[in-house]
Structure 1
Amino acid sequence: MFEGFYTTSLVAPFVCAILVSCAYKRYTSLMARARYPPGPPRLPIIGSLLHVPNRHTWLAYERMGKDLGDDLVHLDVLGSHIIVVNSAKAATELFEKRGAIYSDRPSYTMLIDLLGFDWALVFSRYGDRFRALRKGFHPYLSPDAVIEYRPLESKSVHRLLRSLMEKPENFVASLRHMAGAIILAIAFGIEVKSEGDPHVETAEKGLGAVLLGTMPQAAMYDFFPILKNMPSWFPGAELNARTKEARHASTAMLEDPMQVTKKAMAEGKVSPSVASALLTRLEDQSATEQDRALTYVFMVLGGADTTVCALEDFFLAMTLNPDAQRKAQAEIDLVVGHERLPDWNDRQSLPYVDALVNEVLRWRNVTPTAVYHRLMVDDVYNDYFLPAGATVIPNVWYGAILHDESVYADPLSFKPERFLDPRLDKPEAAFGFGRRICPGMHLALESVWIAVVSILASFDISKTVNEKGDEIDPVDDYVDGLVAYPFPFECNIKPRSEATVKLIQLTDLED
């Protein structure tokens, strides 16, 4: 018996060595045969620099993929590699199945070094700190946890309806106020003022700084880090002047609401919130743990940007697609009636409204190129060599993932009924991929749904008209940046009836 064991113990390492050797030889063989994915023409020294888009990057990368006939596009910019992923198949393989090596973030020189967003988990490097913070966030943003926030969301939406009724021309400002109110209450226990709340304004300025740091022009700072030390008149460094004021916004966004929570706790007047719960648990811990609490709550705050953008897209969709609006309103009238506003108990009975929300997220998704990933080690995909350190961009926009014609027939059209087909998955790609998928996804979806169903039940949204009575088509274009907000547009927002007006007024008073 022992002789056999002895023989096995000697043979096993040799067998393992042979298997490892064979696997290594196969890997090196693949690497030797592999080549970079196709890309635009390169010039000496600067490589593909002239092909890096400075506007509507998602459309430019889509065109590159179609012209090259491949779902991966490679750009070499001064020796820095960019890989654009233009298909759901490739995105699933790289970001989901190989998430362990594709979950890092690039340097983001503008955001981190100039604007001071090193505290924001969404832009942080992948590693032990990221995993610990992500795990700590789960109790507050899981599908079950976000149900507890529904009364707060409903209250904020009812106030939104009142604002839309009184000042319909200011609908974007009203959306921002509603989203800020929800996030600040959940994160810090802060109840905001009905108008001009300083905490909402601080958050808006901070989110504006994020948009500045993710403009296409900001990518130049990654290719030429020396630009951050140059005067603003230096070619390519024009954003430097704007970053000085924006950095103050980043700091205030981080610190101001937390100080309000700490003061309320010291005075025994604190309202339940993520921040107060974390600070209570960590009050005897180190400064590093305090920083963890700050990171948690501001990861929630980023959800405000996603919610506002999605709801602006909803107003644009309803303005351009009155038939879809009428179908949704007919369903709400049948299920809810006219004597109350919709609530969460109605959701299962409103499949078309659910489909409409999904179509909003697909049709004009909020982050068309998501937050960029960084490949941590050399890899091979479809015989293509993908180098370590490459910035990997998921193009979830036109013709790529959420506008793939093979999945979504007539993808540029707004057709909620497509999501009534149970075989069609929900557009979760709108929230990112794999280990970097947005942890606030469930909260954002809840906020968007209750806002959409309440607005549809209460208002008719249509095109504005000129002095001749002719309809004015709204601008259908988008701001460049991490979050693709629609360009400002006008629409007509009117209560559906006098009964609706009274219902909104009564509900707002009850809140």
Structure 2
Amino acid sequence: MYSLTIPALGVLAIIVLYVWPGVASTGSKARRKLPPGPPRLPFVGSLFHLPKGHDWLVYEQWGKKYGGDLVHIDVLGSNIFVVNSAKAANELFEKRSSKYSDRPSLTALTQLLGFDWTLVFCPYGDRFRAFRKGFHTYLSPDAVKDYRHIERKSIHRLLCNLAEKPEEFTGHLRHMAGAIILAIAFGIDVKAENDPHVETAEKGLQTVTAGSTTRAAMYDFFPILMRIPSWIPGAGFKKEANSLRRFPRAMLEDPMQATREAMAEGRATSSVASAMLAKLESQSTLKSEIDVETVCALQIFFLAMTTHPEIQRQAQSEIDAIIGQDRLPDWDDETSLPYVGALVKEVLRWRIVTPLGVYHRLIEDDVYGEYFLPAGSTVVGNIWAITHDEAVYPDPMSFKPERFLESTVDFPEMVFGFGRRICPGRHLALESLWLGVASILATYDISKAVDENGREIEPVDDCVSGIVAYPLPFKCSIQPRSAVTERLAVAPLVWNN
């Protein structure tokens, strides 16, 4: 959830005038039993108890402190419920998905910043269902196998880039993920470096982060602020949003225009965009989501390998025993490499890319156990708390791939979301992540970087606080495992399509 403070008394006064009539009119519902939560004051509720960053950690502690699957937060009369257990998440988001699949207004991201075209923020309804059905055609488990030649090419380019400029590994990961998505979605073969589409996607991710800040949150809770000029104290985010909103629009329009031009000239390759445009009579916009899951998860993988060399060696030993060093891993090897598979699952559990997912909106009154949940409430799935439940994942803060080798521990698919709002691109993300991890382990050693005095540099283990909690920059050493694996990494691509 967004951290929230009041930036100016002028804005607070406007909010009071806007919200107070609604608060005063809901007395009958307010008397019904709500879940426990942090202390509340008259009118402002729990406003001054809200976290100022890394909200998922605070909500996890609140769940333990107040002793319930749900935590209730009252922010100036707006009800927010945080789901901290797998039991409650399954009951509400899965079994009652028809009630919990809507989105809150997310005014800052959709209206101010221009992400209204994305499926992830789309309100639940006919439009959402139609596009989700269309995406399933192209992103089902069977369908994504048709894109393996694209993934192989992009991951091979990643291995080559790591050999040339290992210190720029984060940029190489972004390029790889962008290349896969742009090729599949739009049929675009990105440039080897400084590709404008990849750079636009990165600016778009930065814009999402800006839309998750304290100032942005004010517009989500109080859409009336949209009517307030940007010169009023506390409303300056509108000016910042005006300078950023070109990036979300360019993320869609630039590659779509490239696809249309390629189709008109008869040089378009097979892609989701070309297929959908060919079927539609009108130039309807394709609702495309740039997949940040893969690149962020691979950054987390590099962090985990930097700090856990013994785990890296165990995974490499498995690869050497099964595959050897005369070729790169491929998907046919996946079942023969159980430890590598467990490592990938632990990467996704250990540091959650989207620890609070994207918020849900309850479309009608509901009851969970003894508690009443009123329609219109925001419901937040605390994926972090669920995947760090000590009862399911003992010693949850430690990186332990072996936990997924036990038959009693299942992979938590909620890392990709819940119910009908689960990420439609998860199968593609898992495929790309597995092959990327296996290929890097087969060819490179990852370790701590050293300074000019030869002393090891401890990597930064922290993340951005926002919808996407991607790791903060850290240094590591990336070296070929041997002369043999170095040649393998930079050799011409020999995979079969």
Q: For residues 243-322 of structure 1, what are the structure 2 equivalents within 5 Å?
A: 243-282=241-280, 285-287=281-283, 290-291=284-285, 294-295=286-287, 298-299=288-289, 302-303=290-291, 305-322=292-309
Partner secondary structure for residue 81 of structure 1: strand
Identify which of 340, 351, 354 aligns with 2:341.
354
In 1: Cα distance, 2:344 partner to 2:371 partner = 37
Match of 1:14 in 2: none
In 1: Cα distance, 2:323 partner to 2:236 partner = 54
Give yes or no for contact 2:339–2:402 (8 Å, CA) kept in 1: yes
Q: What is the deviation of 1:70?
A: 1.5
Partner secondary structure for residue 245 of structure 2: helix
Q: For residues 57-206 of structure 1, what are the structure 2 equivalents within 5 Å?
A: 57-206=55-204
In 1: Cα distance, 2:263 partner to 2:441 partner = 40
Query: 1:117-166: per-residue Cα shift (whole Å, max 9, x none)?
Result: 11111101111111111111111000000011111101100000011111
More displaced 10-residue stretch of structure 1: 382-391 or 221-230: 221-230
Match of 1:26 in 2: none
In 2: Cα distance, 1:420 partner to 1:223 partner = 44
Match of 2:332 in 1: 345
In 1: Cα distance, 2:149 partner to 2:232 partner = 52
Give yes or no for contact 2:152–2:495 (8 Å, CA) kept in 1: no
Matched, 1:330 2:328: no
What amino acid maps onto 1:91 in structure 2?
Answer: A
Q: What is the deviation of 1:233?
A: 5.8
Give yes or no for contact 2:163–2:490 (8 Å, CA) kept in 1: no
Give yes or no for contact 1:314–1:360 (8 Å, CA) kept in 2: yes
Percentage identity across aligned positions? 65
In 2: Cα distance, 1:365 partner to 1:233 partner = 37
Match of 1:477 in 2: 462
Q: What is the deviation of 1:509?
A: 8.8
Partner secondary structure for residue 76 of structure 1: strand
In 2: Cα distance, 1:501 partner to 1:474 partner = 25
Partner secondary structure for residue 41 of structure 1: coil
Query: 1:161-218: per-residue Cα shift (whole Å, max 9, x none)?
Result: 0111110110000000000000000001100110001111112112221222123542
Change (3 A) 1:493 1:238: farther
Identify which of 351, 354, 367 aligns with 1:367.
354
Query: 1:207-241: per-residue Cα shift (whole Å, max 9, x none)?
Result: 22122212354222222324344455644334333
What amino acid maps onto 1:207 in structure 2?
Answer: L
What amino acid maps onto 2:337 in structure 1?
Answer: L
Give yes or no for contact 1:216–1:481 (8 Å, CA) kept in 2: no
Identify which of 20, 45, 48 aligns with 2:46.
48
Count residues in correspondence: 468
Match of 1:462 in 2: 447
Q: What is the deviation of 1:480?
A: 1.0
Query: 1:402-446: per-residue Cα shift (whole Å, max 9, x none)?
Result: 000000010000000000012211121100111111110000001
What amino acid maps onto 1:86 in structure 2?
Answer: N
Match of 2:413 in 1: 428
In 2: Cα distance, 1:233 partner to 1:340 partner = 61
Partner secondary structure for residue 491 of structure 2: helix
Q: What is the deviation of 1:63?
A: 1.6
Give yes or no for contact 1:33–1:383 (8 Å, CA) kept in 2: no
Q: What is the deviation of 1:392?
A: 0.3
Structure 2 length normalisation: TM-score?
Answer: 0.91
In 2: Cα distance, 1:494 partner to 1:208 partner = 30
In 2: Cα distance, 1:384 partner to 1:405 partner = 25
Partner secondary structure for residue 82 of structure 1: strand
Match of 1:384 in 2: 371
Partner secondary structure for residue 311 of structure 1: helix
Partner secondary structure for residue 259 of structure 1: helix
Match of 1:417 in 2: 402
What amino acid maps onto 2:311 in structure 1?
Answer: A
Runs of 5+ unmatched residues, structure 1: 1-30
Q: What is the deviation of 1:68?
A: 1.1
More displaced 10-residue stretch of structure 1: 401-410 or 458-467: 458-467
Match of 1:446 in 2: 431
* Structure showing the higher helix proportion among its residues: 1
What amino acid maps onto 2:395 in structure 1?
Answer: D
Matched, 1:496 2:481: yes
CA RMSD of aligned residues (A): 1.7
In 1: Cα distance, 2:93 partner to 2:421 partner = 9
In 1: Cα distance, 2:40 partner to 2:163 partner = 55
Give yes or no for contact 2:451–2:457 (8 Å, CA) kept in 1: yes
What amino acid maps onto 1:366 in structure 2?
Answer: V
Q: What is the deviation of 1:54?
A: 2.7
Q: For residues 207-246 of structure 1, what are the structure 2 equivalents within 5 Å?
A: 207-230=205-228, 232=230, 234-246=232-244
What amino acid maps onto 2:264 in structure 1?
Answer: A
Give yes or no for contact 1:54–1:217 (8 Å, CA) kept in 2: no
Give yes or no for contact 1:103–1:375 (8 Å, CA) kept in 2: yes
Match of 1:24 in 2: none
In 1: Cα distance, 2:167 partner to 2:229 partner = 40
Q: What is the deviation of 1:286?
A: 3.5
More displaced 10-residue stretch of structure 1: 63-72 or 149-158: 63-72
Partner secondary structure for residue 383 of structure 2: coil
Change (3 A) 1:361 1:81: same
Change (3 A) 1:160 1:465: same
What amino acid maps onto 1:335 in structure 2?
Answer: I
Change (3 A) 1:92 1:33: farther
Q: What is the deviation of 1:508?
A: 4.8
Structure 1 length normalisation: TM-score?
Answer: 0.89
What amino acid maps onto 2:355 in structure 1?
Answer: P
What amino acid maps onto 1:45 in structure 2?
Answer: F
Give yes or no for contact 2:63–2:84 (8 Å, CA) kept in 1: yes
Q: What is the deviation of 1:482?
A: 0.9
In 2: Cα distance, 1:154 partner to 1:457 partner = 14
